[in-house]
Amino acid sequence: MAMHTVRLSPATQLHGGISSNLSPSNRKPNNSIVRYGCGSSKRFRIVTVLASLRENDANGRDNSVRAMEVKKIFEDSPLLPKPLSSNQLTESVSNGSRVRVAYQGVRGAYSESAAEKAYPNCEAVPCEEFDTAFEAVERWLVDRAVLPIENSLGGSIHRNYDLLLRHNLHIVGEVKLAVRHCLLANHGVNIEDLRRVLSHPQALAQCENTLTKLGLVREAVDDTAGAAKQIAFENLNDAAAVASEKAAKIYGLNIVAKDIQDDCDNVTRFLMLAREPIIPGTNRLFKTSIVFSLEEGPGVLFKALAVFALRQINLTKIESRPLRKHPLRASGGLKYFDYLFYVDFEASMADEVAQNALRHLEEFATFLRVLGSYPVDTTML
Ligand SMILES: O=C(O)C(=O)C[C@]1(C(=O)O)C=C[C@@H](O)C=C1
């Protein structure tokens, strides 16, 4: 059987470095995580079956039968872990060896790459939802979470701003990842055959110009790699996924177009979250993230931001979100929207100047919380 017909090769595509499987069917009765070595015979069985499927395809076999077979093989595979869902959170435990890092999405998602960049040699643990990743850390199932917070083209990931406040984790670091999107389709599908494109809404927004030029109908899914997986599993021939080159390899898809984001400098910033804060230092460039709310009144936000300007502290990000518990406030018979302000500033909480700024802010803030003080990611992308 000629190996070149197999698009999912064993070493790079099926195993891919994840050694735990969190799906209930693969969990040991004592709730510890089942591990699989690189030489798993099941892995080779899967590759062999895929190879024979490809060969059958070449002989003109029914595509829907093939799609069902491929789906079954992937679902049975212990090598592609199923993401954690909220109701599984009580069922697995951290084994204390490598750092276990939760991310949202499935294998091949940009968030997985960010987790691996933030914690080299970590065990990246896929989670279905952002919320699940937060909870996985809170319940000691994993050690850290790495979650996207903003993108240079698409803007803020609002959901994670809201969750930062709803949960009690601390920001212990940030990591920036260059995001280079590809258009992925099944082999044999040409760009002219495409009608639809599936991806994470952020990824779709980052490729707005290309997708508009191609006239593709956008369909939002949970993550970019999940879109690639769906294209492969369902053997779709009118749809493509916006996803990474890594996802193309994992799910055996063809790269129809590369670098389709609207700007070559497309960067997503991720936050590293932990149960305990790190001790802020002054030995390197630090950033501090805070959230606060203010009284209603003329110039109040101006005054709040002035506490930093007066001390020459540089602000790197400001975001406002509705204050959900009190979305409206009344003043003089009028109703105003009520907000939370998230601010990142370039100073360590170990700096007296930062402590003074926050003391000053407390004088008129109705609520203030420090989300974390952590080293700035200064790596060039
Ligand atoms: O869908 C993925 O692959 C993700 O990791 C999520 C996500 C995001 O939420 O912004 C991360 C990076 C890119 O900006 C696009 C999508």
Read off the pLDDT of residues 182-213 as tens digits, 9 standing for 90 and up: 999 999 999 999 999 999 999 999 999 999 99
CA–CA dist 254, 53 (Å, integer): 17
- Domain annotation covers residue 303: yes
| Residues 30 and 164 occupy one common structural domain | yes
- Ligand 1 nearest atom to the CA of residue 225, by list position: 3
181 in Cβ contact with 242 (< 8 Å): yes
| Residues 96 and 131 occupy one common structural domain | yes
The residue contributing the CA closest to ligand 1 atom 15 is: 203
Residue 55 predicted with pLDDT over 90: no
| Residues 95 and 26 occupy one common structural domain | yes
Read off the pLDDT of residues 22-43 as tens digits, 9 standing for 90 and up: 333 333 233 222 222 223 333 3
- Domain annotation covers residue 79: yes
- Of 160, 176, 192, which residue is a domain's last? 176
CA–CA dist 199, 210 (Å, integer): 14
- Of 233, 260, 287, which residue is a domain's last? 260
Look over the chain and give the mean of its residue pLDDT values, rounded to a whole number: 80
Q: Which of 60, 70, 111 is nearest to 246 (CA)?
A: 111
| Residues 229 and 126 occupy one common structural domain | no
- Domain annotation covers residue 252: yes
CA 221 to centroid of ligand 1, rounded, Å: 11
Specify the number of domains making up the chain: 3
| Residues 61 and 107 occupy one common structural domain | yes
The residue contributing the CA closest to ligand 1 atom 12 is: 110
| Residues 62 and 98 occupy one common structural domain | yes
- Ligand 1 nearest atom to the CA of residue 223, by list position: 1
339 in Cβ contact with 293 (< 8 Å): yes
CA 18 to centroid of ligand 1, rounded, Å: 19
Report the CATH number at residue 208: 3.40.190.10
The residue contributing the CA closest to ligand 1 atom 9 is: 148
CA 261 to centroid of ligand 1, rounded, Å: 13
- Ligand 1 nearest atom to the CA of residue 109, by list position: 3
CA 200 to centroid of ligand 1, rounded, Å: 7
The residue contributing the CA closest to ligand 1 atom 1 is: 223
The set of catalytic residues is: 268, 270
Read off the DSSP letter of residue 193.
G
- Domain annotation covers residue 271: no
CA–CA dist 203, 261 (Å, integer): 8
* Most ligand 1 atoms within 8 A of CB, residue of 110, 128, 206 to mutate: 110
Read off the DSSP letter of residue 157.
-
CA 104 to centroid of ligand 1, rounded, Å: 9
Q: Categorize the per-residue pLDDT at 324 as very low, low, confident or very high, splitting at 50, 70 and 90.
A: confident
Residue 176 predicted with pLDDT over 60: yes
Q: What residues does ligand 1 touch, defined as CB less than 6 Å away?
A: 105, 109-111, 148, 151, 157, 179, 200, 202-203, 223-225, 268
| Residues 300 and 343 occupy one common structural domain | yes
The residue contributing the CA closest to ligand 1 atom 3 is: 109
CA–CA dist 244, 258 (Å, integer): 9
| Residues 89 and 60 occupy one common structural domain | yes
| Residues 143 and 42 occupy one common structural domain | yes
Give the pLDDT score at 227.
98
| Residues 169 and 195 occupy one common structural domain | no
Read off the pLDDT of residues 57-104 as tens digits, 9 standing for 90 and up: 444 445 555 555 545 545 545 455 566 655 554 434 444 478 999 999
CA–CA dist 187, 253 (Å, integer): 6
Report the CATH number at residue 345: 3.30.70.260
- Domain annotation covers residue 381: no
Give the pLDDT score at 77.
52
Residue 305 predicted with pLDDT over 80: yes
- Domain annotation covers residue 315: yes
- Ligand 1 nearest atom to the CA of residue 243, by list position: 3
Look-up of token digits 């899967």: 46
- Domain annotation covers residue 354: yes
- Domain annotation covers residue 268: no
CA–CA dist 322, 332 (Å, integer): 21
Residue 160 predicted with pLDDT over 80: yes
CA–CA dist 201, 205 (Å, integer): 6
| Residues 256 and 287 occupy one common structural domain | no
- Of 148, 176, 204, which residue is a domain's last? 176
CA 139 to centroid of ligand 1, rounded, Å: 24
- Ligand 1 nearest atom to the CA of residue 266, by list position: 14
ipTM of this predicted complex?
0.95
| Residues 189 and 96 occupy one common structural domain | no
Read off the pLDDT of residues 98-137 as tens digits, 9 standing for 90 and up: 899 999 999 999 999 999 999 999 999 999 999 999 999 9
Question: Which domain covers residue 15, as residue numbers?
Answer: 3-176
